[in-house]
């Protein structure tokens, strides 16, 4: 699990709950929830295709999981594969257990004897499709984050119309006004605590995953060309943060 996502989400809702205190019942209104949550979901679906809409909720799991390998870990694996391939040939790479599906496909292409152009073309296309899929998911949550506050305002206007139509009872004005404002609050929370952070995190993780895939392509092409494993680490060091390069070089010495 991604600790930052869990702690951030729980922290935000925890602080909101602390501010509400013992007045929780005053902040609960079913019609307001339906207008904001279901209403904004319906509008988001309207501006998307069904496939994009459903696919976004499949991709959103990435914000709660931390499955992205560090680039230095990928480099270590690639150096091991390069050593095996140089010593025993490409066929020796067959059957190795590889957790990264993109790297597994790249190694499979090495075993099949694919040339450099085919490797770059095939794996490069996979990266573009992956980035497009992640972009669509991020756009869904960005749109939801934009629509939710607007639906909250619509709910507030509905509440105000109802309130103004019942001005005969002055005692009901205060509670009616409070209920009307709840939809605005729900919309702001949904947008700024959930939807927009998810969209931003999906974009960041997509960039990291794309960089990892580019690293794998570079390493795979190097292995395909029969390069010396000893210089592979130095060649791929640009994908690693400067502080981690020294440790990476020592581990592969």
Asked if the structure places residue 18 within a domain, the reply is no
pLDDT at 185: 93
- In a domain, residue 79? The reply is yes
Q: How many separate domains does the chain show?
A: 1
For residue 1, the model assigns a pLDDT of: 66
Residue 42 is assigned to a structural domain of this protein = yes
Could you tell me the residue range of the domain that residue 76 belongs to?
Answer: 29-251
In a domain, residue 12? The reply is no
Residue 250, pLDDT score? 62
pTM, full prediction: 0.83
Would you say residue 17 lies in a domain? no
Output the pLDDT for position 127: 95
Q: What is the 3-state secondary structure (H, E, C) of the chain?
A: CCHHHHHHHHHHHHHHHHHHCCCHHHHCCHHHHHHHHHHHHHHHHHCCCHHHHHHHHHHHHHHCCCCCCCHHHHHHHHHHHHHHHHHHCHHHHCCCCCCCHHHHHHHHHHHCCCCHHHHHHHHHHHHHHHHHHHHHHHHHHHHHHHHHHHHHHHHHHHHHHHHHCCCCCHHHHHHHHHHHHHHHHHHHHHHHHHHHHHHHHHHHHHHHHHHHHHHHHHHHHHHHCCCCHHHHHHHHHHHCCHHHHHHHHHHCC
Q: What is the pLDDT of residue 165?
A: 77
Q: What is the pLDDT along the chain (253 residues), one digit of tens a residue?
A: 678 888 898 999 999 888 888 888 888 888 889 999 999 999 999 998 888 898 888 888 777 776 778 888 899 899 999 999 988 888 999 888 888 899 999 999 999 988 999 999 999 999 999 999 899 999 999 999 999 999 999 989 888 887 887 777 777 777 778 778 899 999 999 999 999 999 999 998 899 999 999 999 999 999 998 888 888 888 888 888 877 777 676 655 5
Confidence (pLDDT) at 103: 93
Assigned domain for 216 exists: yes
Q: Is residue 2 part of a domain?
A: no
Give me the pLDDT at residue 39, please.
94
- Assigned domain for 230 exists: yes
pLDDT at 25: 82
């Amino acid at each position: 699990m991604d600790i930052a996502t869990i702690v951030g989400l729980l922290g935000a809702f925890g602080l909101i709950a602390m501010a509400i205190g013992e007045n929780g019942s005053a902040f609960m209104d079913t019609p307001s929830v339906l207008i904001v949550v279901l209403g904004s979901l319906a509008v988001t679906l309207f501006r998307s295709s069904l496939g994009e809409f459903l696919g976004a909720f499949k991709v959103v799991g990435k914000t709660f999981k931390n499955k992205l390998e560090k680039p230095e870990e990928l480099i270590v694996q690639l150096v091991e594969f390069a050593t095996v391939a140089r010593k025993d040939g490409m066929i020796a790479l067959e059957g190795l257990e590889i957790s990264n599906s993109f790297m597994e496909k790249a190694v499979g292409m090495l075993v099949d004897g694919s040339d450099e152009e085919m490797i770059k073309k095939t794996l490069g296309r996979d990266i573009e499709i992956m980035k497009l899929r992640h972009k669509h998911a991020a756009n869904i949550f960005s749109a939801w984050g934009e629509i939710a506050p607007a639906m909250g305002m619509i709910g507030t206007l509905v509440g105000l119309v109802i309130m103004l139509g019942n001005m005969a009872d002055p005692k009901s004005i205060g509670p009616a006004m409070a209920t009307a404002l709840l939809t605005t609050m729900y919309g702001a929370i949904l947008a700024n605590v959930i939807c927009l952070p998810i969209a931003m995190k999906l974009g960041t993780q997509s960039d990291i995953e794309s960089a990892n895939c580019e690293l794998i392509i570079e390493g795979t092409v190097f292995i395909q060309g029969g390069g010396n494993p000893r210089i592979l680490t130095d060649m791929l060091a640009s994908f690693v943060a400067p502080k981690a390069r020294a440790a990476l070089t020592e581990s592969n010495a």
